[in-house]
């Protein structure tokens, strides 16, 4: 497997910190809003996994594609889905990204390249193969990054997709966010290999095992994979090891996660660690960091206020967008 070593420019780390903080603050506001009873619905917090998509954000171009899963808000924010329409979609509003028809598990935002969110574990991978194939056939230079969890590496779609992407040398990055748990089951209880990245060898695929909470290593992994894809050197499997702070879904009391393991992970909060590192290395002052965070809070508050005030869809809208316009249901 490829190892990654390099120094990352300070402005890249600031970018990663900014995106990661946006995700962290958004997640905190979202969970607060659910607890307040203002909105209902399921929520799959990405807290703890922010550095992975934030690193991709520092590498990808706006026209590149990202695919994700129901735990995908971090990937959506990092790809640049506008917060007001994203939040309106989560609240089921008529003006949401998907007119309130998709919801958090099915967000698409074509304008920012967030081409698919699937609620089915592993199903995004074969679709990413097609997105990469399309880019290859159109000679567009675009790449596709498909995010999924460690649990998805045990489903057949993972293996079919890796085989085909390797066979056809497609510009696809398979980004496994290994947060150590497939729903309520620990990694080792469900996976026959100690590292998902080792599965890449079966498909002669460039594979990188990386600490997904380490912004320098994660950025280099993302950069290596994206540059290779863009240069026609085919797909990469990245296993980014991370940790899930808030269980499978909101309300999960996490009895299956050892307390000390969870505490240790939260003590090593990757966003706060990067914050401290940037200040410690004098890349940013405390005041500058606070200014970034205040700006993000304002943006997030405005998005939540906007979404809350937006109208719910008309009942008649349930009958549109099944087929192209004019087709009888």
Partner 1 sequence: MTAQSELTEPATSSERVLSQVQAIHEALDIALATDDRVFELGEDIQDPNGGGFKVHAGFSTKYGLDRVRPTPITEQAIMGAAIGAAITGMRPVPEIMLMNFMAVCADQLINHAAKLRYMSGGQTNVPITVRTVTGAGGGFGAQHSDMLEGPLVHTPGLKVVVPSNPADAKGLLLSSIFDDDPVVFIEMHHLYYSISGSVPEGDYRVPLGQASVVREGSDVTLISWGRQIHDCLAVADTLAADGISAEVLDLRTLVPLDTGAMLSSVAKTRRAVIVHEAVRRNGYGAELAATIGEELFGQLAAPVRRVASTNTPVPYSKPLELAHMPSRDGIEETVRALFK
Tokens read off for 73: 């808000």
Least Å from the CB of residue 315 to partner 1: 15
The 8-class DSSP code of residue 313 comes to: P
Residue 144 Cβ, how far from partner 1 at the closest point, in Å?
A: 8
Q: Which stretch binds partner 1 (CB under 8 A): 17-25, 75-83, 98-106, 304-312?
A: 98-106
Among 36, 40, 62, 138, binds partner 1 (CB under 8 A): 138
The single residue among 154, 163, 180, 249 that binds partner 1, judged by CB under 8 A, is 163
Q: Angle between the 215-230 and 10-35 helix axes, to the nearest 10 degrees?
A: 110
Residues 195-234 that bind partner 1 (CB under 8 A): none
Measured distance CA(311)–CA(112) in Å, rounded: 23
Asked if 315 touches partner 1 (CB under 8 A), the answer is: no
User: What is the CB neighbour count within 10 angstroms for residue 26?
Assistant: 25
Closest to partner 1 by CB, 280 or 326: 326
CA 227 to chain centre: 19
State the minimum distance, in angstroms, from the CB of residue 92 to partner 1. Answer: 12
Whether the Cβ atoms of residue 151 and residue 160 lie closer than 8 Å to each other: no
C-beta closer to partner 1: residue 131 or 196: 131
CA-closest candidate to residue 218, choices 62, 56, 69: 56
Strand bridging mode 114-118 / 65-69? parallel
67, β-bridge pairs: 116, 146
Q: In this chain, which of 127, 262, 266, 308 binds partner 1, going by CB under 8 A? A: 127
Which region, judged by CB under 8 A, interacts with partner 1, from 68-76, 91-99, 189-197, 204-212? 91-99
Taking residues 57 to 86 in sequence order and writing x for each that binds partner 1 by CB under 8 A, - otherwise, the string is --------x---------------------
Residue 156 makes contact with partner 1 by CB under 8 A? yes
**Binding segment (CB under 8 A) for partner 1, from list 34-42, 51-59, 231-239, 316-324:** 316-324
- Could you please report the per-residue DSSP string of 263-308? HHHHHT-HHHHHHHHHHHTTSS-HHHHHHHHHHHHHHHHHHHHHHH
Distance CA 116, CA 134 (A): 15
Q: Are strands 144-149 and 206-211 parallel, antiparallel or unpaired?
A: unpaired
Asked if 137 interacts with partner 1 (CB under 8 A), we say yes
- Residues that bind partner 1 in the complex, under the rule CB under 8 A: 65, 96-102, 106, 108-110, 115-116, 118, 120, 123, 125-135, 137-138, 144, 156-157, 160-161, 163-164, 167, 320-324, 327-329
């Amino acid at each position: 497997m490829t190892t990654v070593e390099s120094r990352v420019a300070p402005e890249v780390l600031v970018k990663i910190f900014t995106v990661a903080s946006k995700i962290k603050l958004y997640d905190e506001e979202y969970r607060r809003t659910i607890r307040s009873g203002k909105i209902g619905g399921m929520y799959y917090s990405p807290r703890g996994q922010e550095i992975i998509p934030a690193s991709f954000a520092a590498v990808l171009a706006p026209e590149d594609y990202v695919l994700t899963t129901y735990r995908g808000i971090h990937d959506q924010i990092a790809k640049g889905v506008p917060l007001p329409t994203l939040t309106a979609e989560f609240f089921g509003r008529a003006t949401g990204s998907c007119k309130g028809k998709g919801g958090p598990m099915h967000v698409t935002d074509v304008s920012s390249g967030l081409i698919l969110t699937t609620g089915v574990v592993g199903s995004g991978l074969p679709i990413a193969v097609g997105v990469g194939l399309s880019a290859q056939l159109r000679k567009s230079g675009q790449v596709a990054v498909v995010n999924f969890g460690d649990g998805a590496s045990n489903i057949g779609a993972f293996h079919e997709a890796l085989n085909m992407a390797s066979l056809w040398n497609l510009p696809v990055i398979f980004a496994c966010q290994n947060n150590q748990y497939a729903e309520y089951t620990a990694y080792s209880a469900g996976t026959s290999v100690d590292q998902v990245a080792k599965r890449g060898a079966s498909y002669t695929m460039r594979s990188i095992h990386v600490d997904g909470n380490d912004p320098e290593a994660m950025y280099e992994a993302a950069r290596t994979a994206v540059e290779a894809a863009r240069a026609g050197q085919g797909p990469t499997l990245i296993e980014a090891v991370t940790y899930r702070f808030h269980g499978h879904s909101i309300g999960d009391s996490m009895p299956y996660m050892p307390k000390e393991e969870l505490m240790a992970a939260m003590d090593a909060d990757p966003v706060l660690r990067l914050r401290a590192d940037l200040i410690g290395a004098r890349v940013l002052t405390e005041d500058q960091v606070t200014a970034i965070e205040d700006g993000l809070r304002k943006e997030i508050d405005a998005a939540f206020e906007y979404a809350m005030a937006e109208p719910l869809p008309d009942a008649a809208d349930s009958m549109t967008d099944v087929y192209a316009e004019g087709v009888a249901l």
